[in-house]
Structure formats: C-alpha cells, structure tokens
C-alpha cells in the first residue's frame, strides 16, 4: 500500500531528514514508528502525504506516485490519506459534529459545505463515525469543551468520515495521560482493523507500540534501525 524506494529528504537548510529509506507497508497493517525525538519519525510520516517533500527516490501510495510538486494530484492523494496530529487540530469553537463534517467537505469542497450546509448523507456518515469512536452523545458540544481523549476521538472520527485507505498519525497520544493514551490507541486499532485501513502511527514508547502494533519500525538519525514484527522488537529498538 505504501512503498518507499531509496527515499531521501533533505531540508532546505541542508539537514538530512531521511537517509535512503526503503520499505513496504501492506494494506491493513498497523505499523508503529518508534524512535527518540529528532529520529525522523515525523518526517517519514509527512513524506507520505506530501507535507514534507522528498528529494530523491520514489514514494508510492497504492498506484499513485507521491508528487509533492503536483498540487492537484496531492489533493486527490490527501483525500485517500487521513492525518491525525498530536494537538488534535479541531476547530474549538464549532460543534463536534461540524468538526467531523470537515472530513466530508475535504471530499466535496462545494460552496455549500463552506457555509456549513451538508448533505443528509454526509451528516449520516458523520454520526456513524462519532458512534464508532463512542462520542456520538457529544455531537452538539463545542469541540473545545471536550477532554483530551475525547478531542482526539473527534479527530479520529473526522478522518474515518473521509473513508480513507490510509491513516497517518503523528504522535496521536503524546498529549494524553497514559490510561487515556491506551484507550485512544485501542480505539484506533479496533477501528482500522474493522475497516481494513492501513495505519502508520508515530510514538515514543515501545511498550505502547508492543501492545497495539502488528509491526514496529525503529528509527535513528533519519534511518531505519529496526523493522520487524512486534514480537521481535526488543528494548534495543
Ligand atoms: P521525530 O518526529 O522523530 O521527532 P522529525 O522528523 O520531526 O523527528 O525531525 C527529524 C530531524 O529533522 C530533526 O533533527 C529536526 O530538527 C529536523 N527537521 C525537521 N524539520 C525540519 C526543517 N523544516 N528544516 C530543517 N530541519 C528539520
Ligand atoms: P477523558 O479524556 O475524559 O479521561 P477518556 O478519553 O479517558 O476520557 O475516556 C473516553 C471514554 O472511555 C469515556 O466514555 C469513558 O467512559 C471510557 N472509559 C473510561 N475508563 C475506561 C476504561 N478503563 N476502559 C475502557 N473505557 C473507559
């Protein structure tokens, strides 16, 4: 589903963010990227949807070659690749439901959706997404009024409302307390497995990755230093 072939990222200041990455992530896999701060996890994940342009090699999602210079192609790619961030990226002053509907308007950016008028089928999908993450009772609350765990569930609902093939999650539980982090990761794991979505998640903690991922990729200094099934990942990762 996602293939890196000798991918390099050199930042404008000359810093090597990724150094010759080659790997394949299969459809439906739940992969955790592990490594210290600065290892290149975020660079790797952001290269997949073109948020960070790669400078050499070939990166493909399904049959599509990621082309950071082709804005129209990038927009189509991003409609298939949902992204979740550490800071949730919700619009705090609008309702939870409208935050999830943003995931639908990414697919149908008409003037109606810009005004907040959505088709009944989009509202239906938004409610189903909220049900999947267990916060449908919060649909009419302002997003800012929710706890951290609930806010990240809003972000997950927004992404699944987009009906993505891939979910990229950049430190999705780093702002949550440990028990909440586990519940949110557990929800993400359950949902990607039910829907068959390929999921790549960055995290700091190997113990979390061990409990939720199929496969662990360890990174250091922009390179892959471990890649294998979760059971084979040791503390050396
Ligand atoms: P991680 O997600 O593992 O913490 P990152 O991918 O964010 O690591 O960063 C990897 C390295 O790339 C770090 O040393 C960081 O300082 C550097 N880096 C990130 N973004 C830029 C940028 N825009 N310009 C230059 N260097 C960057
Ligand atoms: P908060 O961010 O307010 O702590 P969480 O994100 O931890 O909320 O919890 C979200 C949902 O998970 C709530 O509906 C809560 O009832 C439920 N929940 C709380 N504790 C547990 C638990 N130990 N196991 C499973 N679900 C729980």
Could you list the mean pLDDT of each consecutive 10-residue stretch along the chain, which spans 237 residues?
A: 98 97 98 96 97 97 95 93 95 93 74 71 95 97 97 98 97 96 97 97 93 96 95 76
Q: What is the pLDDT of residue 104?
A: 85
Decide if 4 contacts 21 (C-beta within 8 A): yes
Q: Which two tokens stand for residue 190?
A: 């359950």
Atom index in ligand 2 nearest the CA of residue 147 equals 2
Decide if 227 contacts 200 (C-beta within 8 A): no
Give the closest residue to 204 by CA, choosing from 184, 231, 181, 223: 181
> Ligand 1, atom 16: nearest CA belongs to which residue?
38
Q: What is the pLDDT of residue 232?
A: 87
CA of 230 to the centre of ligand 2 (A): 26
Q: What is the pLDDT of residue 106?
A: 66
**Residue 126: phi, psi to the nearest 5?**
-65, -40
- The ipTM assigned to this model is 0.72
> Ligand 1, atom 27: nearest CA belongs to which residue?
11
Q: Which two tokens stand for residue 32?
A: 């955790």
Decide if 125 contacts 102 (C-beta within 8 A): no
> Ligand 2, atom 8: nearest CA belongs to which residue?
149
Q: What is the pLDDT of residue 26?
A: 97
Atom index in ligand 1 nearest the CA of residue 37 equals 4
pTM beyond 0.95, yes or no: no
Q: What is the pLDDT of residue 113?
A: 62
CA of 147 to the centre of ligand 2 (A): 10
């Amino acid at each position: 589903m996602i293939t890196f072939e000798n991918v390099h990222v050199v930042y404008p200041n000359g810093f090597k963010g990724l150094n010759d990455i080659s790997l394949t992530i299969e459809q439906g896999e739940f992969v955790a990227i592990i490594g210290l701060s600065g290892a290149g996890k975020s660079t790797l994940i952001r290269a997949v949807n073109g948020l960070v342009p790669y400078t050499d090699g070939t990166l493909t999602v399904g049959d599509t070659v990621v082309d950071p210079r082709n804005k129209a192609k990038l927009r189509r790619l991003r409609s298939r690749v949902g992204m979740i961030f550490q800071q949730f990226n919700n619009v705090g002053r609008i309702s939870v439901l409208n935050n999830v509907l943003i995931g639908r308007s990414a697919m149908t950016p008409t003037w109606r959706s810009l005004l907040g008028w959505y088709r009944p089928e989009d509202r239906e999908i938004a409610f189903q997404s909220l049900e999947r993450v267990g916060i449908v009772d919060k649909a009419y609350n302002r997003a800012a009024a929710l706890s951290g765990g609930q806010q990240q569930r809003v972000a997950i609902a927004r992404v699944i409302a987009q009906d993505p093939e891939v979910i990229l999650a950049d430190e999705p539980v780093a702002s949550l307390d440990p028990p909440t982090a586990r519940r949110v990761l557990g929800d993400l794991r359950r949902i990607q497995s039910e829907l068959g979505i390929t999921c790549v998640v960055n995290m700091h903690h190997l113990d979390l990755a061990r409990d939720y991922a199929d496969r662990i990729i360890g990174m250091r200094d922009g390179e892959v230093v471990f890649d294998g099934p979760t059971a084979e990942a040791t503390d050396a990762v």
